[in-house]
Amino acid sequence: MSVERKIVHRGTRFTTAFARDCTGSCPAEVFFDALSISDKAKVATLFKMLGEGQTSNPTKFGDLGNGLFELKSFQIRIPYAYSPRERGVVLLTHGFMEMKDKTPPTEIDRAKRILQDDENFNKVYRITDSKKRKRP
């Protein structure tokens, strides 16, 4: 059984993908799909900037600490992290609407939990894939 990541954008520096939670679903994808068309366009622009490594604008890209970052478009927030096991891959954890400047600790904890779930989910499928692969 082969499981591939749901890719959001392939840039020249990074590939942006949705992280999976313990159920195998992608909370960031669910959030993104629920956005209005205009908000999707704004966030898609941020995906492209992230893929090109253009993350120096602090009004669009925030550092949450401990290797966790966030995309920001007005009240829309999408936490992300660079994959520790896959070079050049950025994982989007989930999304939420934020009225204040500071990201709530509950959202940071949720992002960390999703990243851990994603790592565990990939370990299971990596083992399964290697045993079922046919040799040429």
Question: What CA–CA distance (Å, rounded) separates 19 from 108?
Answer: 15
Three-state secondary-structure class, residue 84: coil
Dihedral of alpha carbons 63, 14, 8, 46, sign: positive
Model confidence over 5-52: pLDDT tens digits? 789 999 999 999 999 998 889 999 999 999 999 999 999 999 999 999
Model confidence over 82-114: pLDDT tens digits? 998 889 999 999 999 998 878 999 999 999 999
| C-alpha radius of gyration, the chain, whole number | 15
Kindly report the CATH number that applies to the domain delimited by 8-129. 3.30.2310.20
| pLDDT higher than threshold 50 for residue 131 | no
Give domain limits for the chain: 8-129
Longest CA–CA span in the chain (Å) reads 56
- Check if the beta carbon of residue 65 is closer than 8 Å to that of residue 105: no
For the chain, give me the number of helices (H) and strands (E)? 3, 7
Question: Where would I find the H helices in the chain?
Answer: 27-34, 37-51, 105-132
| pLDDT higher than threshold 80 for residue 69 | yes
